[in-house]
Structure 1
Amino acid sequence: MTPVSALTLTAKVTLIDRTGTRVTAGSLAEAMSLIAGRSHQSTPVLALAMRHESDSSFEPGRWALDAGQLAPAPVSEVADYLLEYTDWQLVDAAGRLSPVTTTATLESVGQAVATKAGHEVTIASDLPGVLPHKYTPASNAVQRIEQEGRGFADAHDDAALVASRWVPHVDEDMPTLLHEEHPVSTAQAFATRTQTRRQLLAPARRGWQGTINYALGLSLAPGAAERHTRSLHTTIQQGLAGHRTAVVVNIKGGASKTTATYLLGATLGRIRGGMILAWDNNENSGNLADRALSAAHSHTALDLLERIEDFTTPEHADQLAGYVRPQGDNKFHVLASQNEAGNKEVIDASAFRMMHTALRQFYGLAIVDTGNASTAPTWQAAIDVADVLVIAISNKEDAARRAFTTIDALRNQGYADKLTNAVAIVTQPRTASPQRLQDITDTLTGLVRAVEVIPFDRALDDGGQINWEALSADTRQAYLRATAHVIEGM
């Protein structure tokens, strides 16, 4: 009798609401919990994202979420959320997971599983719209497996054997599950290409090698420090497929959030160029405008909100200059928060999303500064749209404690996946505790993707307007590394 493996397919679920906001959950249950936690005027309706509707392994439809349970909904219903699946995993009968490292269709995934197993495989899933399928191995693959003496007919626990054959950590010699290369468009490959060795080893312009090259007209290769700096520049300058947003957080005031926001924007502007926006999204009154170069106007995000309908299309792009503040040689723009007195209505979540949707047409990158309340709707809206989170921490006891409180809040609100892609920027005060710095970095290990320590800088200590030329070389280099970490996460 031909053996059959029964496997279950799971995935991360990204929810896309009507504003285009994307929130990723680790499972279907977690995604349903996120939807249930939001307020809705009627029963929310879900549908598949377009990329899945065109795949024959899916059955497009509409589902209504009622009391935590999904039920069929009329196809005429307008979807409140689109479901997008990524990071597929196969679960065997013993409950063991195998990651599916492929960008191909589910049909090719199932076929490859059956072919590698050498026998029929059934794959089912509880994900809405994913069709159960039975796959038969390609005949030539079966013959090859039998010739090599690797048939599965005598296996006592066939499903477990199939899983153990592919789970990477079981045996380093075993092949990774379904590792397939999916063709990338030539345009994307060119836009995201890395620096060639010739560019990396172009004649030195810095250090003693650069001095000699300039004085004597030689072409000495750059030293290790300059090559590293060039590599960081290449990372920061790499092409990105569409708008990206980084959001800087710490519910403690005075934790260097605003400084980090400004200097990430300045580094991006000077190294990458293009349209870069630093946006003060404080739920009360932020001070990004105080640290920035002034403009010929005093308009804030509230003033822009009153005219946001004018910017739903690019035709009024020239009028944005009346609402943002250009930052000279730093080559980015600042959007100030509400007025200092805070006597106007605070921008709420829907207003933030509306503005973000409009502004992303004009800016390729945005760095969003946030306030000090993780429960504020505008704070949560910013986290929703973030491609990369930046945890700003000052090496002070209270700021460090509140930073980890912020991390706990993010995890509790369903943003654990964004935390694993986060970058922590730890700023050293005038008198810094080396032991506490070690404790901070040790605790961050495994919580975030990268940690960068910024040295103390007298030019930033008084909280006044930030002058790039006054910064120390060490501070600029640290922010160069931090900015590269942020771009890597995008």
Structure 2
Amino acid sequence: MAAVSTLWLNAKVTIVDRTGTRVRAGSLEAATAKLADYPHQSAPLLALAESHASDPGFSPGAWQLAQGQLAPASGGEVPDYWLEYSDFHIADADGQPLSTVTMDNLSTIGQNMATRSGHEIEIQTQLPGVRTHRYVPAVALDAAPSKLSVHSTGAAPLTGAMKPPAPASAATVSHPPASAAQAFATRTQSRREALRPAHTGWRGALNSSLGLRLAPGAGERRVRALNATVQQGLPGHRTAVVVNIKGGASKTTATYLLSATLGRVRGGMVLAWDNNENAGNLGDRAFPAAHSNTALDLLEHIEDFTTPEHADQLTGYVRPQGENKFHVLASQNEAGTKEVIDATAFRRMHAALRQFYQLAIVDTGNASTAPTWQAAVDVADVLVVAISNKEDAARRAFTTIDALRNEGYAEKLANGVAIITQPRTASTQRLVEIQNSLAGLVRSVVVVPYDRTLDDGGEIIWEALAPRTRQAYLQATAAVLEGM
């Protein structure tokens, strides 16, 4: 068995009560000791601060403090306190500090440590809601990608219900670049981006108004890193396919917003394709066009697009999405029991459209037995499992996963991404259970917070989205690109 070195991730802890009063402590032990000294009628309930909720390095949850120890709680009540973390640092098994880190650069530091030492590095923590990480040396990644995992964890006495792994921040598998020149250019661009002064937040405001050159903060650095991932070069056309056999599981929303993020951050030719076996609603959520043509109309003329010279005629079949800078191909608009576009037709259309679009995000229907559904999964470079944090949607998501594994797509699924969308009233416990159940099944998990502007099922307006929603979809899009 390969040697594993264990390191510990610690941080300073700030306790925030219901009035907004903040008390900072040097460690988790000091924080719980302070709370133990406060008078309480019952054991206080703690939760992870909202500022950490959308970061993949954290796993939201609730904990009860009893007899000086934290233990998992259901989280159904309003917390008495929230936990905020800052000043993260890594220490060795003896408690000797090794390095200060941020949640943004933790995976880079851990991977470098593993590669240089030649054996696995496990970074554990006792901080509630902070994930632990394991990294293998880069030379072993291609041989054993299944060893990459991230584990939900909490304070030392937490029960096994919180221990199963969730792969939200798994280290990225390294592959040789398709072009050495492109790799070097990307490196130069990344260095230039890292050195560029802040242009958002209070640092950006001071730089703009006073002519300063303050460095970007952690949040802006993270956004820049995600943008760089989304903008990375690809050797050719790539397709992501969004699946869940449950209707209303946010498949169409995910398809639209992944495409919009690609269009706004990456640019180029991006297609969102509604491949519902009957009638999908991607066209209803998109900006309208001067025509009402659908995939069925395009299929009737697909022979006109077997060569690139007719690219200008595609505008008569797709629907441009303005500042989102991508096109929508709507599904046929007549529901029925008979499949209109079968597997052969889908493959013909995909072969033709890949000449015109560098990236395609394909929305699917609700029948894993439909040949067109299976054909889409077969051509997918990355699978995206859309899950709403509701009992029925979650159950059907795992039924979808079982169907994919039974059809021989377990390896493709392991390179996939799960997007969990929070409804208006979301169960914290079920969210944790969904994340834990996805362990070892997909490569990355991203949680999208509730956004009321997406509730009515109408046209999706990017500018109306909450900033946290845009940030979550930037993370999700970067995760999809990492698999390509």
Alignment-derived partner of residue 53 in structure 1: none
Please state whether the residue corresponding to 2:434 is helix, strand or coil: helix
CA shift, 1:446, in A, is 1.1
CA shift, 1:201, in A, is 2.8
The reply on whether 1:399 has 2:380 as its aligned counterpart is no
Q: Kindly provide the CA deviation profile for residues 139-194 of structure 1, in whole angstroms up to 9, marking residues without a partner as x.
A: xxxxxxxxxxxxxxxxxxxxxxxxxxxx989xx99x96999x97964344356547
Of 250, 258, 267, the match for 2:261: 267
The reply on whether 1:220 has 2:214 as its aligned counterpart is yes
Of 252, 256, 267, the match for 2:250: 256
Q: Which region of structure 1 is more displaced relative to structure 2, 213-222 or 226-235?
A: 213-222
The reply on whether 1:209 has 2:203 as its aligned counterpart is yes
Q: CA separation in 1, counterparts of 2:338 and 2:408?
A: 31
Contact 2:404 2:413 in 1 (8 A): yes
Q: CA separation in 1, counterparts of 2:392 and 2:337?
A: 29
CA shift, 1:427, in A, is 0.2
Q: Kindly provide the CA deviation profile for residues 351-378 of structure 1, in whole angstroms up to 9, marking residues without a partner as x.
A: 0000000000000000000000000000
Contact 1:191 1:238 in 2 (8 A): no
Between 1 and 2, higher relative CO (CA 8 Å, sep ≥ 6) is seen in: 2
Alignment-derived partner of residue 322 in structure 1: 316
Alignment-derived partner of residue 349 in structure 1: 343
Contact 2:178 2:235 in 1 (8 A): no
Of 407, 412, 424, the match for 1:413: 407
Q: Kindly provide the CA deviation profile for residues 337-392 of structure 1, in whole angstroms up to 9, marking residues without a partner as x.
A: 00144598610000000000000000000000000000000000000000000000
Alignment-derived partner of residue 471 in structure 1: 465
Alignment-derived partner of residue 363 in structure 1: 357
Please state whether the residue corresponding to 1:218 is helix, strand or coil: coil
Alignment-derived partner of residue 45 in structure 1: none
Alignment-derived partner of residue 426 in structure 1: 420
Q: CA separation in 2, counterparts of 1:317 and 1:222?
A: 42
Q: Which letter maps to 1:376?
A: A
The reply on whether 1:243 has 2:208 as its aligned counterpart is no
Q: Which letter maps to 1:457?
A: D
Q: Kindly provide the CA deviation profile for residues 439-489 of structure 1, in whole angstroms up to 9, marking residues without a partner as x.
A: 000100111000000000010011110000000000000000000000000
Contact 1:191 1:239 in 2 (8 A): no
CA shift, 1:206, in A, is 0.5
Please state whether the residue corresponding to 2:432 is helix, strand or coil: helix
Please state whether the residue corresponding to 2:312 is helix, strand or coil: helix
Alignment-derived partner of residue 294 in structure 1: 288
Q: Which region of structure 1 is more displaced relative to structure 2, 275-284 or 181-190?
A: 181-190
Q: CA separation in 1, counterparts of 2:360 and 2:178?
A: 26
Q: TM-score, normalised by structure 1?
A: 0.62
Q: Which letter maps to 2:205?
A: T
Identical residues among aligned pairs (%):
76
Q: 1:74-223 alignment to 2 at 5 Å?
A: 185-190=179-184, 193=187, 195-223=189-217
Q: Which letter maps to 1:295?
A: A
Alignment-derived partner of residue 375 in structure 1: 369
Contact 1:194 1:234 in 2 (8 A): no
Please state whether the residue corresponding to 2:248 is helix, strand or coil: coil
The reply on whether 1:231 has 2:225 as its aligned counterpart is yes
Q: CA separation in 2, counterparts of 1:340 and 1:184?
A: 43
* Gap change, CA 1:185 and 1:467, over 3 Å in 2: closer
Q: Which region of structure 1 is more displaced relative to structure 2, 342-351 or 331-340?
A: 342-351
Q: Which region of structure 1 is more displaced relative to structure 2, 465-474 or 217-226?
A: 217-226
Q: Which letter maps to 1:459?
A: T
Q: Which letter maps to 1:300?
A: T
Q: Which letter maps to 1:325?
A: R
Contact 1:193 1:238 in 2 (8 A): no
The reply on whether 1:488 has 2:482 as its aligned counterpart is yes
Please, what is the CA RMSD of the aligned residues? Answer: 2.5
Alignment-derived partner of residue 307 in structure 2: 313
Q: Which letter maps to 1:289?
A: G
* Gap change, CA 1:412 and 1:277, over 3 Å in 2: same
Contact 2:203 2:215 in 1 (8 A): yes
Contact 1:168 1:177 in 2 (8 A): no
Alignment-derived partner of residue 33 in structure 1: none
CA shift, 1:209, in A, is 0.2
Q: Which letter maps to 1:353?
A: R
Q: CA separation in 1, counterparts of 2:257 and 2:268?
A: 16
Contact 2:278 2:339 in 1 (8 A): no
Q: CA separation in 2, counterparts of 1:283 and 1:177?
A: 38
Q: Which letter maps to 2:252?
A: T
* Gap change, CA 1:379 and 1:191, over 3 Å in 2: farther
Q: Which letter maps to 1:356?
A: H
Q: CA separation in 1, counterparts of 2:177 and 2:277?
A: 44
Please state whether the residue corresponding to 2:400 is helix, strand or coil: helix
